[in-house]
Structure 1
């Protein structure tokens, strides 16, 4: 890939007939910059297709124009041209300072597997320097010369003996090379054959020299150092830690508080972090030897946006593995599983005048009514017979019914019924039935009044979409809406149409105030509810639905084709297989529950005597809502009795036609 200039053409030569080589010419001379950018975008797209279908690809870019190289670096990132296994060779003729500035300022040249061949010509000598940029070393980022070529001496390697060194693995020879250059013991092209050179380097850094036998050449420095570490020096762990992957550098990460995975607390001027994902990041940082700095983010969208533009190396909080999200970033090894469930306000009890009806089922009430009618009919027949008449004479039907119902309610048995043996047997059985039924009814009535039965609450997605008007979810999870809308289930599609972004606390408060629900993972919901909404008795106005809407894997977002992702994946895999993440999750939840209990105890202590009186009188007293059923029944009875009384008075006050006296006649004898 080269710019269409004569200088670049002379550099690249005629390779059009070579097999296995694709040559792309991007015109620069006499063309508008926008046209060049469009051509470069098309070329990168075609080259990426070639890279995807090929087993091993090396991309060669030839240009002497810094603007062209800058454009290529940007478009190669946007077009995802390079991965770590794809080697990039840049051939140019730029001043050394300008070249180093170019390498440092672009991700493609500094972080990826890039080698630069720079032509350094003079009147008497022609020399080619081969340079790589090491983003991490013992002394920070630096440009390192790995080889050189001259017409007289040919190609000469500089340790390490490779043109494309690994930048993110434990290569100690690179570290030794940097140490030697700093101490003035490295001279390009000369062998380090003096005994004791390695010891001088180690002692200059305050380390004890390991036992190294024989002489060390420049190419064998890394081998000698590894032999020294195997000799058992007491300083081995320090050197190994300093020589690992990131060499103690500080990397940027983005994250927001999402308990129990990540929690941020400020103590004075110090910010402290905790949570399962923080513990995991701390373990990875120790393994790969880096420290991290949390970049400020105002929203979850900004958290991932900074990863996407490579300002942040990764977002160190759980993200669901969803195909739609992979268009914006890559994900690390999936180290855990989680579910998506909904939380809603617990349904409240609506007042009902049928509160006295609830203790018994409808079938029981029908059986009681049938038994009462049967007993009343039988007693009426017994008392109507002249053989068994009592001293009160023949009782009316109303009096017998009142006696029977009074016995059932425990308010009857005035001795006005017949004294026959059959009547005694029937009344005794009726008394026993009334005692059993009355005791059971009173116990159930007290239970239903003090501990009422809650109305049914939604537990599935089908029930959820019928009772809510909207559903909130974390603002970064816009892909969930697309997933639900594209689902084959009508309930999920309706759920997707209700889905809006929002914070967890805002979603939970909205669930209490309106017909709304919030979606999140159960651990986060349990922790926030217990910490912010739980009462002293352990109850909460919110509940978590039983159905799992989704079962997802979780990972950390990283930039597309980040070269350090395999090292992070290896650490995450070891942590997961050892069960550390599950243990951290358990410890975090236990600590949160313990903290919540201590907070509640402190609140009770601060309340003092008021808290004691509250705890002593913390029972549910009956209100007008509980007994409105009997009150309404009494009101209906009083109303009917009043109506009957008025009707009777009207009938009594109206004279009967047959009983009206005629005109008085006076007769005189």
Structure 2
């Protein structure tokens, strides 16, 4: 079977161990055993560049890892007869990120069967595309072959090609793909491909994952038997992966989010199947799958502004200019009417009307309570002036009362921040869980003033429950993923009528890419990405998310309704806080807030009237006492004159 290699641009690195490999390459014993094999492999990549290491050092791979990023595919050839060197290379190349999921590793050396078997214990040889050339028998009866996977030995002119499959029906094992012969080159066995897919079918294997509850992406519940039941949108996506790739998952025991990603970076867990924001700092510890939830940003939640008691409720229906105009008109009308009345009284020699009474009657007509027509002189000028004033008072009073009713029924609520720029202007403290340290450092180093200000305001260490309580009672906004905040508000802070005392900002804090953490250069990334892409492009994932959010709203409303039916007061409810009246909701009764202005005016009036009454009583008592003293003195003087 002839091998056809794709015409990709490749970069070939040859790592040689000086002690053994060069001796084999140069044929120290005159046999030139390995050199023809390496030259034959190099011929397959004859358009590649070569970088040759002959010092046997297993270091410097970090620099080479940066070089391979500029090429579509990297082919690494390791030549050594010693298993110890190959194992050291496997560990060093893994730390240095020399290989990637699309790389191909080719190991060539006179290895014993047990040496080949031992290489499968290393992630580099078991998970990556790793081919091993080792001597085999010319008759094909190698002791490691495609059928039994056992050991070998034989004629050194024949080199068997082995490939480790970590997941098969009988478990992980080495398989023989073919052999190389000096006269015939590389020949694959019938039905074999050069690089079989390792992760398209895991044959029911158990894969470790690490996760913590993060609604609605990942949720955990314990049933009556003590078993943990997982649910959520990301759990459904994991189920789809398990069905497609044929594996089962086992959640490792973790207690913090640092442990969740630590298990992934250590390769103890394949992935953390929960949405994580893709930050540059995190890329230093682990990689990510294909991104999803592209329209979901970091958002903030705040308490809706509520009406605070204000005496200005009587003042707000008219603007300042209108009030000044009414006051000026009132003064002018009082002065003009008093002047006209005084002139008419002189002409008609009628009974005089006190000026204070005129002013009181004018105010009464403005408030719809007075009547001047039966007490005024009957001159034409007086009647015309009164008629004009009554018409003006009617128009002003009607407009004021109508606007006052509209203002009381549909009050003007204080403005609420909806964007990041508005948020940083009105708050001085923002809460977030402890895992927001990465985001805070990112915001503090931002070139945008609003983002940098937000980073300086952030206070970490508040979980979602504590953060929302601070939001409700102290007006501190809480940061988090948009879907996560939507779910928490829907489930725990929704009234029976569907309203909530909380709201989410119309614009997010900043756009964020989201994905699942996976180990650096994970070779199974392509297979996971395939499932994620299918679910996202098909709209299935978004449908799952909508269903979970709708269910949370339904549960929240039902829970609140049951509490209301049981007579549970609002103060004992989890989501305790007064909500604002909605314009679109049913009419609601006016509260004490609406009538604080009239009540304060009445109270102040009664206080002033009481003070005036006491003052008048004191003046009257003093006047009476003074008059009594005068009368007594006059009486005494009269008696003295008589005697």
TM range (shorter): 0.7 to 0.9
The separation in 1 between residues aligned to 2:122 and 2:641, in whole angstroms, is 143
The 1:124/1:282 distance shift into structure 2, 3 A limit, reads closer
Question: 1:346 touches 1:543 (CA, 8 Å); kept in 2?
Answer: yes
> What is aligned with 1:100?
117
Are residues 1:142 and 2:142 paired? no
> What is aligned with 2:424?
465
Query: SS of the residue aligned with 1:546?
Result: coil
Cα deviation for residue 511 of structure 1 reads 2.0
Are residues 1:585 and 2:571 paired? no
Counterpart among 330, 350, 357 of residue 315 in structure 2: 357
Counterpart among 298, 310, 328 of residue 267 in structure 2: 310
Question: 2:17 touches 2:79 (CA, 8 Å); kept in 1?
Answer: no
> What is aligned with 1:505?
465
Query: SS of the residue aligned with 1:401?
Result: helix
What is the aligned residue count? Answer: 572
> What is aligned with 2:531?
571
1:440-481: CA deviation from partner (whole Å, max 9, x where unpaired) = 545655665676533233333233223333323354444422
Question: 1:130 touches 1:147 (CA, 8 Å); kept in 2?
Answer: yes
Cα deviation for residue 289 of structure 1 reads 2.5
Query: SS of the residue aligned with 2:430?
Result: strand
Question: 2:73 touches 2:103 (CA, 8 Å); kept in 1?
Answer: yes
The separation in 1 between residues aligned to 2:214 and 2:452, in whole angstroms, is 27
Which range moves more in the overlay, 250-259 or 436-445? 436-445
Counterpart among 285, 308, 313 of residue 242 in structure 2: 285
The 1:247/1:512 distance shift into structure 2, 3 A limit, reads same
Cα deviation for residue 398 of structure 1 reads 0.8
Query: SS of the residue aligned with 1:265?
Result: strand
Which range moves more in the overlay, 84-93 or 372-381? 84-93
Query: SS of the residue aligned with 1:312?
Result: coil
> What is aligned with 2:258?
301
Cα deviation for residue 114 of structure 1 reads 0.5
The 1:648/1:91 distance shift into structure 2, 3 A limit, reads farther
> What is aligned with 1:111?
127
Which range moves more in the overlay, 416-425 or 149-158? 149-158
The 1:47/1:524 distance shift into structure 2, 3 A limit, reads closer
> What is aligned with 2:20?
7
Query: SS of the residue aligned with 2:102?
Result: coil
Map 1:176-325 → 2, pairs under 5 A: 245-269=201-225, 270-325=227-282
The separation in 2 between residues aligned to 1:41 and 1:265, in whole angstroms, is 48
The separation in 2 between residues aligned to 1:141 and 1:666, in whole angstroms, is 140
> What is aligned with 1:559?
519
Counterpart among 481, 498, 502 of residue 542 in structure 1: 502
> What is aligned with 1:416?
375
Are residues 1:131 and 2:91 paired? no
The separation in 1 between residues aligned to 2:469 and 2:214, in whole angstroms, is 17
The 1:323/1:385 distance shift into structure 2, 3 A limit, reads same
Are residues 1:494 and 2:453 paired? yes
Counterpart among 257, 263, 288 of residue 331 in structure 1: 288
Question: 1:388 touches 1:419 (CA, 8 Å); kept in 2?
Answer: no
The separation in 1 between residues aligned to 2:211 and 2:535, in whole angstroms, is 20
The 1:641/1:279 distance shift into structure 2, 3 A limit, reads same
> What is aligned with 2:357?
399
The separation in 1 between residues aligned to 2:440 and 2:70, in whole angstroms, is 34
Cα deviation for residue 94 of structure 1 reads 5.2
> What is aligned with 1:173?
none
Map 1:360-375 → 2, pairs under 5 A: 360-375=318-333
The separation in 2 between residues aligned to 1:609 and 1:50, in whole angstroms, is 67
The 1:535/1:594 distance shift into structure 2, 3 A limit, reads closer
Cα deviation for residue 392 of structure 1 reads 7.3
Counterpart among 9, 22, 35 of residue 51 in structure 2: 22
1:102-148: CA deviation from partner (whole Å, max 9, x where unpaired) = 31x32211110101234579997546443221122223322222234
The separation in 2 between residues aligned to 1:266 and 1:108, in whole angstroms, is 38
> What is aligned with 2:198?
167
Question: 2:135 touches 2:154 (CA, 8 Å); kept in 1?
Answer: no
Query: SS of the residue aligned with 1:41?
Result: coil
The separation in 1 between residues aligned to 2:394 and 2:18, in whole angstroms, is 109
The separation in 2 between residues aligned to 1:608 and 1:118, in whole angstroms, is 77
RMSD of aligned C-alpha atoms?
Answer: 4.1
The separation in 1 between residues aligned to 2:24 and 2:317, in whole angstroms, is 96
Q: Compute the TM-score of the two structures, normalised by the length of structure 1.
A: 0.73
The 1:86/1:392 distance shift into structure 2, 3 A limit, reads same
The 1:388/1:413 distance shift into structure 2, 3 A limit, reads farther
Question: 1:11 touches 1:62 (CA, 8 Å); kept in 2?
Answer: no
Q: Compute the TM-score of the two structures, normalised by the length of structure 2.
A: 0.76
The 1:255/1:390 distance shift into structure 2, 3 A limit, reads farther
Counterpart among 105, 119, 126 of residue 88 in structure 1: 105
Question: 1:467 touches 1:515 (CA, 8 Å); kept in 2?
Answer: no
Map 1:656-667 → 2, pairs under 5 A: none
> What is aligned with 1:517?
477
Question: 2:287 touches 2:521 (CA, 8 Å); kept in 1?
Answer: yes
The separation in 1 between residues aligned to 2:540 and 2:153, in whole angstroms, is 64
Q: Which runs of 5 or more structure 2 residues have no equivalent in the other structure?
A: 1-13, 28-34, 43-47, 138-151, 571-586, 628-632
The separation in 2 between residues aligned to 1:622 and 1:55, in whole angstroms, is 72
The separation in 2 between residues aligned to 1:603 and 1:363, in whole angstroms, is 49
Question: 2:494 touches 2:556 (CA, 8 Å); kept in 1?
Answer: no
> What is aligned with 2:600?
628
Counterpart among 377, 380, 384 of residue 335 in structure 2: 377
1:166-206: CA deviation from partner (whole Å, max 9, x where unpaired) = 3234xxxxxxxxxxxxxxxxxxxxxxxxxxxxxxxxxxxxx
> What is aligned with 1:69?
86
Query: SS of the residue aligned with 1:413?
Result: coil
The separation in 2 between residues aligned to 1:607 and 1:618, in whole angstroms, is 20
